[in-house]
Structure 1
């Protein structure tokens, strides 16, 4: 069996309400769906949603990379040779992890369709049938944030993530209001999104501890390039520290371990270049005793299913995952309603990614 064709579809999906993406609020995001077909007629689907402030990729650029560089190099190749395929993609062009992840995702889906097995089985197992979810709340006025937190806990979410604002005191006050509103029913997480220095982060985190806010962890407290600062924070506070923007590869994970810079890794499938490399990163984390959580890049449902299959298969992913990107949109390429219930995501048991019907965009 060989890859016969790789096609892309690019569109814009509006958010249900404006969302803070990067450093600005936006009405929606671009999405690319990738279809990889074999010579015998089977097709697998993957997706990506660019976030230029995060990975430097754009929709038009990613589509050009896939159609003009990756597709010509991969057509005719064995779709089961994922190691070889990733070597080819990395030789053709460096970086561009989100574009590569969409192709990787489609290849896993194609394999599952051909073998009549779910992607989780291809990734190594099935440790859990459902994935507990964390709801992320964008920066807004305190009343709106508290109301959203209450509503999501009532829906069944077991964890909530808040974004830090520019004012540390204001952010702590907002966290306090949310903790008082939801009590011990949900874990609270704080995402600093690279906004602070190491010393500023240490002061904020220690103050949160003094206020008994009981943070599950604090995410990316310093700029992604400041690994020394990240390590300084990790050593200075008792609250667990998660790295996100600071890891885009297995080599980055090794560097985090060497420096003892974090105890949790945000294992976003897209930023690692797909499920294949994300699985490698998870294995390194497991060997070093680091925990993992699967976040998202606010992609559509296909990517949420891919993340769910990874979470189902791997041991170090034991935290509520942020596989909620598709929930922010008015529409999606596939029907995701059967899989979400009471703050949990049921991992499909059907072949490939397990969607009810293929994306209707080609």
Structure 2
């Protein structure tokens, strides 16, 4: 089965409400969906989310990258995944979102050809995983309301966006801790908002107050590996590296220096499954656990991420809630979410049957 064509399209993903985080406000996310078509008529599905402020990928850059990639892999056997990814990497550097979309589609085809769901191909450790839900930064009232609403829906782990003011962060978390019932765990996403010493002071205050934070995600700037290690070494709370790990080479830096306690893997950051697996394997060797995260992605990307997350025992946490933020689900098939549990299907590949509202873009 050889690659005959690659078609590219776009889907609209209107949100239920505006998505806020420390560095950006999003009202209508954009997602590019690729269809890799074989000479036997089989179709593999993949997607690319625009994440300009994290990976530098915009809609135009994704489309430009796919235009370059397409002629380089036409005619290659779908089983030759190493050859496909080698050709892609030789064609252009970075552009991880476009590479992830092709990567997803190739593995989707692989699963369909051999009649195996991807989670079983990747390891099959389990078929479901618990996800947290993000509580966006806002007023105290907004954050408490969002937290209580999430708990009523069955979520037991809340990932709280705290903004850049460390004292405000402490105040918000203190109120939330008093507002939620016992058994609900708070996770904190600092979104690169603090300086290293400020982060240490802030986290120690949280510890002294008994806030019992599960982990602190990316407290310092992505490029500040020394600062990240400083924070990790000087607090008891576990530190999760997110933006600092764009790909396998970045993960190696963290692993070699023990610069973080946990690594957050996102397919859009690292370029797909084949690079994500490298990170998982390196981390597992030295005993660093991993979390599977996502960008603001449709069910295509969430299905792909969940397929790897459930498959590997070193994946102990998941942050895969974004598909719940959309007004409607345009993806037929894929994962199912029951409260805070994401369950993958036993259908071949990603198990996605149709992408509604897909509008083709001619490259």
Range class of TM-score, shorter chain: over 0.9
Match of 1:354 in 2: 351
SS at match of 1:194: coil
SS at match of 1:161: strand
Taking structure 1 as the reference length, the TM-score comes to 0.96
Aligned counterparts, 1:184-333, within 5 A: 184-319=182-317, 321-333=318-330
Match of 1:86 in 2: 85
SS at match of 2:18: strand
Deviations 1:166-202 (A, max 9, x none): 3212211111121112233222111111111100100
Rate the CA distance shift 1:28–1:267 in 2: closer, same or farther, 3 A: same
- Whole-angstrom distance in 2 between the partners of 1:81 and 1:193: 38
Shift of 1:81: 1.8
Residue ranges of structure 2 left out of the alignment (5+ in a row): none
- Whole-angstrom distance in 2 between the partners of 1:88 and 1:188: 43
* Contact 2:267 2:273 (8 Å CA) reproduced: yes
Rate the CA distance shift 1:119–1:88 in 2: closer, same or farther, 3 A: same
Structure 1 position 339 matched with structure 2 position 325: no
Residue ranges of structure 1 left out of the alignment (5+ in a row): none
* Contact 2:5 2:38 (8 Å CA) reproduced: yes
Taking structure 2 as the reference length, the TM-score comes to 0.95
SS at match of 1:17: coil
Deviations 1:244-303 (A, max 9, x none): 010112111111112211010001111110011101110111101111111101110011
Shift of 1:331: 2.7
* Contact 1:22 1:51 (8 Å CA) reproduced: no
Runs of 4+ in 1 over 6 A off after TM superposition: none
Match of 2:57 in 1: 57
Q: CA RMSD in A?
A: 1.4
Rate the CA distance shift 1:46–1:12 in 2: closer, same or farther, 3 A: same
Shift of 1:22: 6.0
The counterpart of 1:131, out of the listed 126, 129, 132, is: 129
Shift of 1:335: 3.6
SS at match of 1:169: helix
